[in-house]
Amino acid sequence: MSDLSRRNLIKTGLAAAAGVAGLGVAAKVAGAYGLIPPDSDLLYGAGNSLTYAAQRMLTRHSMAQQYSRDQISKKPFANEVAPLPAEFARSQATGFADWKLTIDGMVARPKSYSVADIKSAPKSSQITMVGCEEGWDYIAEWSGAPLAHFLDDAGTLPGARYAVYYSIQPDWWESIDMADATHPQTIVAYEMNGAELPVPFGGPLRLRVPRQLGYKSVKYITKITVTDDLKKFGKGTGGANAEGGYAWYAGI
């Protein structure tokens, strides 16, 4: 997003919030409910805080739009990824038999799941849109197992607030709050349009977070760390994309 359009969005967001309750009140509400995003100290922070707080108050339980089968895009667009590390090719050569998704951090029972483990968990399907901040999108059917299932299985501890997730690509990591992490549409996806999830689309495992922009749906996930504080990770803004200047909260 260009700085200019970002700034316009923020102005609109601030105006909307100020219109409802006044800027000070909106900021206080955000604080009281712990709805301050980790990138709130950055240049555009005030806008990010208010957008996140307002969205959360309104949409904690809402569902991402689902489409019908005939709306599935004929040609889904796989956004190019940087060359995958050698360990990816090694795992691919085994048919991803040795791929592991580890859940650690604030859980009672840290665990690693194989792709087979994930396929044997309750299956959930959705026809939803992947939207990139660069302006394109497509609709596909995604199947996988709800992240909530694994968080339950590992035993999320009281006080947990965020799930931080990592790709086998070293520069790709992201995080979401527990409202999104436990949301029924947030799935560890392993199928797309009824077939094995193709590598360009994130196979063998991709976290689908359909309530947020495409960059939150990280491909090739290997680890999920549950935490109460995003400041402990990287530069403290909650993800590689927020470090690069994009909003941590990218709700749609």
Q: Which of Mo ion, ligand MTE, none binds 21 (CB below 5-8 Å, type-dependent)?
A: none
Please give the single-letter amino acid code of residue 225.
T
Query: What is the full DSSP assignment across 32-45?
Result: HTT---TTTTSTTH
Q: List the strands of the sheet with 100-105, edge to edge.
A: 111-114, 100-105, 221-227, 162-167, 173-177
Q: Tell me how far, at minimum, the Cβ of 153 lies from Mo ion, in Å.
A: 31
By C-beta, is 211 or 219 nearer to ligand MTE?
219
Q: Tell me how far, at minimum, the Cβ of 24 lies from ligand MTE, in Å.
A: 35
Residue 231 CB coordination number (10 Å): 12
Q: Tell me how far, at minimum, the Cβ of 209 lies from Mo ion, in Å.
A: 13
Residue 196 CB coordination number (10 Å): 13
Kindly state whether residue 201 participates in binding ligand MTE, applying the rule CB under 6 A.
Answer: yes
Could you give phi then psi for residue 238, rounded to 5 degrees? Answer: 95, 0
Could you give phi then psi for residue 107, rounded to 5 degrees? Answer: -130, 150
Token pair belonging to 236: 């403290």
Contact by Cβ (8 Å): 145, 118: yes
Q: Which of Mo ion, ligand MTE, none binds 78 (CB below 5-8 Å, type-dependent)?
A: ligand MTE
Q: Which residue is closest to ligand MTE by CB?
A: 214
Q: Which of 52, 99, 190, 220 binds ligand MTE (CB under 6 A)?
A: 220
Q: Tell me how far, at minimum, the Cβ of 173 lies from ligand MTE, in Å.
A: 9
Kindly state whether residue 169 participates in binding ligand MTE, applying the rule CB under 6 A.
Answer: yes
Kindly state whether residue 199 participates in binding ligand MTE, applying the rule CB under 6 A.
Answer: no
The interface region with ligand MTE, picked from 19-27, 51-59, 71-79, 101-109 by CB under 6 A, is 71-79
Give the Cα separation of 67 and 73 in Å (integer). Answer: 11
Task: Please name the residues in contact with 80: beta carbons below 8 A apart, sequence gap of 6 or more.
Answer: none
Q: Which of 113, 172, 233, 248 binds ligand MTE (CB under 6 A)?
A: 172
Q: Which residues bind ligand MTE (CB under 6 A)?
A: 77-79, 81, 130, 132, 167, 169, 172, 201, 214-215, 217-220
